[in-house]
Structure 1
Amino acid sequence: MKNAGVHHPIFDEIADLARTLGHAHRLVLLRHIADGELAVEQLTQLSGIALANTSQHLQHLKRAGLVQTRREGKRVLYRLADGPIENVLAALRSLANHRREQIRELINDTMSRPDRLENISREELVRRMRNDEIVLLDVRPQEEYAAGHLPGAINIPVDELEERLAELPREKVIVAYCRGVQCVLSADALAILRARGWASRRFEGGFPEWLTSGLDVDGMNYESG
């Protein structure tokens, strides 16, 4: 039996590096620095990150040994530190592209096989809402959600879903909906959710079917009940 208390220093070091790299702004800065030495002001302009934030992120990268500096007059120039840093950045980009391709394939497969969407009917949806068995996810743009939405629905536009998955609970089934039968936003959302391990279904009728049924609606343009 392996000893769970065995300490592995190398993995601690890897975890520290991963934490340092775990910010999009730092990855952007490293990408620009990989093209050659640059001053803080240049990096601010290229990245679009505020000067104070750029300086702060650069200090994190320097402490982690990912960048080095030299002074040229009054300017401090940043360059990549020694080591296979560009290989690490390339590997991360490759992994991200691979994950995106997996999601794209899942979406395409889902759209070509409607039977795999596991649609939920309005009647079942109402019953499960009353029993508090599900979480409603409105994947339409925020302005459409504000104008009217299913009671208690969480709004995460589908193009923000990957970055905001942590806002959704794992202990309940997520039911995504959008603008109706012809709307693909909820199908895209289902593909993303299932690729990340969330139990999920799709209300095919979406907001239009709910509205025409006379059921309660939340939102500034509609009165509930």
Structure 2
Amino acid sequence: MSRTSPKQAIYQHLASVAQALGHAHRLELLEHLAQGARSVEELSVRAHLTFANTSRHLQILRRARLVEAERRGKHVLYRLAGDAEVVGMIKVLGELGERNIAEIGRVVTDYFGARDALEPVSRADLLARLYEGLVTVLDVRPEDEFARGHLPSAVNIPLSELERRLSELPRDREVIAYCRGPYCILSFDAVAALRTRGFRVRRLEDGFPEWKAAGLPVESVG
């Protein structure tokens, strides 16, 4: 009787992780959880899924040890099982896809590139300029995500409120916008809208989860 070798056992477990990642809804749920812990109810609203469908996808992610669950009263809260590792894995998956899958490259060029062709600001550059007080950092995520965690000294103006709150942004120095991650359209749309109104604005190279996963300083409300 043949026995499973240690290598084969490891590959079988890795394959289960890869299988858990093999659905667009589950990747989106991981993006939302990268902003902070959420209940099934909250996640179903954010991902535009039914409660039952959201719960089923979360159970698959949980079995693969990509998320953890904790009951609080009547609700079950989910969070990433290791922010740095899960966020890093998704980032590498995106980079691999952009390099090897032509359709992804076209979407990145046609949609994201059309909204912002300028080179984004790196995390290291932004951190240095933050300490020197040279930029205003703009977080365009919803308020509850901002409250869970954000970049130091960031100003929170959700994209839906940007038009009526332009007076809160300085015109005498550069604004750096960020949101949920490299494929989050909020910061792209914010940059496009602000440039048409004469602001000097660029994007951060990715988003809050990648900043946090890199061990850079973050703040929270309360």
TM-score with structure 1 setting the length: 0.48
Pair member with larger Rg: 1
